[in-house]
A and B are shown apart, each in its own frame.
Chain A
Amino acid sequence: MSKFELKIDKNADAAKISIAGIIDEDVDFNEYSLSGLKQMELDLNNVKSINSCGIREWIKWLGSNSQAKMTYINCPKIIIDQINMVDGFLPQNGKVQSFYVPYYNDDSGTEKNVLFRHGTEFTESGVKPPEKVVDEAGNAMEMDVIESKYFKFLNKK
């Protein structure tokens, strides 16, 4: 697999975009025009990391079509961190539909990402985490984020 992959599945004025790998200075978003699109769903499940150049390019790219409605799905922690810290990383008319929350078990050291979905594990009014999260051995796991910081983006809109 190359360092970065982007697939666009266009259907009239809507598009499903899936992004994988590392978003950095080598990514040229100009190759992927967003003009004419009115609705976009960005699947970010396989984004591994993003650096400062990547953040700037991302904002520029999505800003090139600020009118379109955008939905981010399967956001890994690295994306949620950027949404929380960088204005414009999630455009004004953008919405997070689902995102991962890291869980951890202190004794076994196991880590797991749990998908929080809009309407199930979170809504506009707050977060409703699953009652119990266990690792493969059945050990109870705890949320591995600072909740006030990680879920801050939910109050932004």
Chain B
Amino acid sequence: MSKNKILILEDDKTLSQSLQEALEKRGFEVIPAANAEEANALLNEHKVDYIFVDCLLPGMSGDEFVIKLKKDKPDRKFKVILMSGIYTDKSTIQDMLKRTQASAFLKKPFDLDQVFNIVKEKEDNAKKESPRKMLYQIFSKDMVSTREKRKLIESIEEISAYDLPFIYSLLTETKSSGYLNIYFNDGSVSGIAFSNGCIVAVDVEDKSTYIGELLIQSGYVSPTDIQKALQSKNNQRLGQRLISSNLMSPHALDLTMIEQMNVRLSKTISEKTVKLNFSASEVELTQPNIDSELLLNYLHDWIASKLPTNWLKNLYMMWAGHQIIPNAHLKPDHPCMQMSLIQSLDGLLDKLAKKTTLSELLGVPDYNQAALYKALHFLVTKGLIYFSRNISFDNVDEHFDYLTKLKAQIENKSDYEMLEALGLTQYNDAESAASEIETLLGQEPMKKEAKNFGVWYELYNKISTAINSLNPEAKIQLKKAIEKNEAENRIKANQLLDESKKELMLSQFQSALVKLKEAGKLSGTLFQYNIYIAWARLGMNMQKKDKNVIKEIEFDLMQIPADERYDYLYPYVMGLYYKATNDYLNAKKSFDKALAMDNTFLAAKRELSLIEQMMKKTRKNDNLFTMDLKDVVTVLFKKK
């Protein structure tokens, strides 16, 4: 937060100096002036937050000075504090306050505490950053104490479940121990146990993630094995019973338990709103667990697959012009840099090292916007980058460009949508949000003729008016209306998704793709959406095998969440992808897997038969090491 500037207009040098010293000790920047002319000259150079004015000045009186100043500079925002040892009767003071619209009147001699109380009010308002904003800046600190984390989580009244990956990462990176309880609006509660930064248990009320289900889906055991194990009479948990009965290896259980935690954590990440409570406590470090290194892969997966780009756009809108500060750990050999999202953006690390802004990165022509938002969010979540608190621009043109982009982004939004996107819904009056708005817009331009002046004020007024016009009751109503609209759109989108599924089954890829794109516009949270869109794109691209389209498909596949992969469709689409990239061996394996999950799936049968034919054709040139034994024998011993 920038220092508050104060101008003291006082001809009594002793008082002016002592006031200046006291305020400077409190961290304010103070500019003294002995008369109105001097004050006017200084105000042309500086933007101030407060003006302390002595009423009885040589030449123009203090109150006249204030009235004239407000008339001459109507756009400037500052608070006036009048001071006098002569005019001290109640009616005169009231009259002066009314005429000058000053915030306070100090009767001389006054106590410094009175001064500090006046300026403290503004300081407090300035500190009132939204808890969510503070959350996403927590990694800017070198150390985060348990108390700080607890207080921060406590200060968040409600949060989107899309914010949860960040919370998980925060508790992991800061080596937390305790229980994170997540309360959903439907009354259900989920919980995650952390032990020294490792996730040791994930509890969600969801039968589809029971260990038995996952073991069957992973192919480690059959339903009959589960039945057998359940029949054995002992108090062990299912996994242990399977191991005791020699139906499964301990290693398979460990892998599945980790996958269970991954799927369960993934399921907590949704469009729902949640409340959180973190209770620090000693928790035993049990095996298997998810440590920071393993979590890195999951975070990447969740951010790529579960977070809608529009949600990320809204989250980062308030930081678009802020410098991205890289952490000292952000180096080319950091494991994060090898992840697909980062790899898909050429030269991202170099750009981040130069302390760029999101706004600038969005202007890089080769960058896929969705991939950029997700990659940055991944790095923010891992604490490898953070956004600077203050916005700064090298020149007026840069500031103007930023403001113009911001204006375009909020142009078609309603007042509430705009405030939500800018993270300003918690404010009920523009004055208390002033510092937050300035953080968003950058410093108020000093010169009226400057290029950025008009658009700055236009945005400032638009945002201030929106804040003042929406009372808390209206905000609740608008939020409900938005949710209702989203729910209606989701129904329409699901209908389109169903229609496109039928068309995909009939190999009508183009028509399916059009419908899928339409559905994607209506809702960003459709079950298996990316599987279908990849299927449609692969179907259309099977002949041409265009490299750019393959790149797009790879991004679609990256966005398929873990909990959507336990279905015959996922291996089927992966099979199509391998086929398109001429990896017939993996294509065959994938189609086999799809058929193992659903042996009535005709499309997979057809593809499997096609791939087998293709493999036969290419086998002539095949390497002996990758051939089936039967083929090796045939090649080596076939009579010429």
* Interaction A to B: yes
How far is it, in angstroms, between the C-alpha of A55 and the C-alpha of B180 when the chains are bound?
12
| Nearest-neighbor residue (CB-CB) of A3 within chain B | B284
Partner of A51, one of B157, B193, B275: B193
* Also in contact, A25 and B203, with CB within 8 A (given A48-B281, A50-B279, A146-B154): yes
Chain B: CB-nearest residue to A85: B183
A22 interface neighbour in B182, B190, B281, Cβ under 8 Å: B281
Q: How far is the CA of A87 from the CA of B275 in the complex (A)?
A: 13
Given that A22-B281, A85-B275, A85-B277 are contacting pairs, would A51 and B183 also be in contact in the complex, using a CB cutoff of 8 Å? no
Please report the number of residue pairs spanning A and B whose Cβ atoms sit closer than 8 angstroms: 49
A52 within 8 A of B: yes
Say whether A86 contacts B183, CB under 8 Å.
yes
B363 within 8 A of A: no
Provided the pairs A55-B189, A149-B154 are in contact, do residues A49 and B178 lie with their beta carbons within 8 angstroms?
A: yes
A56 and B279 within 8 A (CB): no
Residues 28-61 of A contacting B (Cβ, < 8 Å): 48-53, 55-56
From known contacts A87-B187, A149-B154, infer whether A52 and B203 are also in contact, taking CB-CB under 8 Å: yes
A77 to chain B, nearest CB (A): 8
Give the residues from 598 to 624 in chain B that come closer than 8 angstroms, CB to CB, to chain A.
Answer: none
Decide yes or no whether B383 CB sits under 8 A from chain A: no
Report A27 CB to chain B, min CB distance, Å: 13
Contact call A52/B154, Cβ cutoff below 8 A: no
A112 vs B277: C-alpha distance when bound (angstroms): 20
User: Does A78 sit at the interface, judged by CB under 8 A?
Assistant: yes
Tell me which residues across on chain B come within 8 A of A49, comparing CB atoms. Answer: 178-179, 279, 281
Q: Is A81 at the interface (CB under 8 A from chain B)?
A: yes
Is B155's beta carbon under 8 Å from chain A?
A: yes
Q: How far is the CB of A110 from chain B (nearest CB, A)?
A: 12
Q: Are A78 and B279 in touch, CB under 8 angstroms?
A: yes
- Nearest residue in A to B179 (C-beta to C-beta)? A51
C-alpha spacing A145/B277, complex, angstroms: 13
Report Cα–Cα, A49/B480, bound state, in Å: 35
Q: Are B155 and A52 in contact (CB under 8 A)?
A: no
B181 within 8 A of A: yes
**Does B189 contact A86, Cβ atoms closer than 8 Å?**
yes
A residues near B561, Cβ cutoff 8 Å: none
B residues near A85, Cβ cutoff 8 Å = 181, 183, 275, 277
Contact B191 A51 (CB under 8 A): yes
B155 CB contacts on chain A under 8 angstroms:
146
Q: Which residues of B contact A86 (CB under 8 A)?
A: 183, 187, 189
Flag A126-146 by CB within 8 Å of B: 1 or 0 each.
Answer: 000000000000000000111
CB distance from A23 to the nearest CB of B (A): 10
Contact yes or no, A52 B189, CB < 8 A:
yes
0 or 1 for each of A17-29: is its CB under 8 Å from B? (1 = yes): 0000010110000
Q: Please report the C-alpha to C-alpha distance between residue A48 and residue B178 in the assembled complex, in whole angstroms.
A: 11
Q: Which partner residue on chain B sits nearest A76 by CB separation?
A: B279
Query: Contact mask B180-209 → A, CB, 8 Å, 1/0?
Result: 011100010111010000000001010000
B130 to chain A: closest CB distance in Å? 14
Contacts of B179 on A, CB cut-off 8 Å? 24, 49-52
Interchain CB contact under 8 A, B181 and A52: yes
Residues of chain B within 8 A of A145, CB atoms compared: 154
A22 to B178, CA, bound (A): 11
Chain A residue with the shortest CB-CB distance to B190: A52
Q: A78-B279, A85-B277 are in contact. Are A51 and B154 (CB under 8 A)?
A: no
The residue that B277 contacts in the complex, of A22, A81, A144, with Cβ under 8 A, is A81
Least CB distance, A103 to chain B, in whole angstroms: 13
Chain B residue with Cβ nearest A55: B189
Point out the residues of chain B lying under 8 angstroms from A50, CB to CB.
179, 181, 279
Complex: how many Å from CA A86 to CA B279?
Answer: 15
B window 279-293: CB within 8 A of A = 279, 281
Q: Which A70-87 residues have a C-beta within 8 angstroms of B?
A: 78, 81-82, 85-87
B183: which A residues are within 8 A, CB to CB?
85-86
Q: In the complex, are the beta carbons of A51 and B187 less than 8 A apart?
A: no
Identity of the chain A residue whose Cβ is nearest the Cβ of B155 in the assembled complex: A146
The answer to whether B281 touches A149, judged by C-beta atoms less than 8 angstroms apart, is: no
* Residues on the B chain within 8 Å of A53, using CB: 191, 203
- Return A4 CB to nearest CB of chain B, in Å: 13
A55→B277 CA distance, assembly (Å): 12
Q: How far is the CA of A111 from the CA of B590 in the complex (A)?
A: 58
Residue of A nearest to B284 (CB): A3
A144 CA to B154 CA, complexed, in Å: 11
- Considering the chains assembled together, what is the distance between the CA atoms of A98 and B54 in angstroms? 54
Contacts of A81 in B (CB 8 A): 277, 279
Q: Most chain-B Cβ atoms within 10 A of its Cβ — which of A25, A51, A78?
A: A51
Q: Contact at A51–B277, with CB atoms within 8 Å?
A: no
Interchain nearest-CB distance for A63 vs B (Å) = 13
Are A149 and B157 interface neighbours, CB within 8 A?
Answer: yes
* A56: contacting residue among B178, B189, B277, CB under 8 A: B189
Nearest CB of A to B150, in Å: 10
Looking at the assembled complex, report how far the CB atom of B176 sits from the nearest CB atom of chain A, in whole angstroms.
13
Residue of chain A at shortest CB distance from B280: A49
Complex-state Cα separation, A156 to B107, whole angstroms: 47
Q: Closest CB-CB distance, A113 to chain B, in whole Å?
A: 14
CB distance from B418 to the nearest CB of A (A): 26
Please indicate the chain A residues that have their CB under 8 angstroms from the CB of B181 in the complex.
50-52, 55, 82, 85
Closest Cβ of chain A: how far from B178's Cβ, in Å?
7
Q: List 15 A-B contacts (CB under 8 A).
A: A24-B179, A49-B281, A51-B179, A51-B191, A51-B193, A52-B181, A52-B182, A53-B191, A53-B203, A56-B205, A85-B181, A85-B275, A87-B187, A146-B154, A149-B157
A residues whose Cβ falls under 8 Å from a Cβ of B: 22, 24-25, 48-53, 55-56, 78, 81-82, 85-87, 144-146, 149
Given A49-B179, A50-B179, A149-B157, output 13 extra A-B contacts at Cβ < 8 Å: A48-B281, A49-B279, A51-B179, A51-B181, A51-B191, A52-B189, A52-B203, A53-B203, A55-B189, A56-B205, A85-B181, A85-B277, A149-B154
Minimum-distance CB pairs A-B, first 6: A52-B191, A49-B281, A51-B179, A52-B189, A51-B191, A49-B279
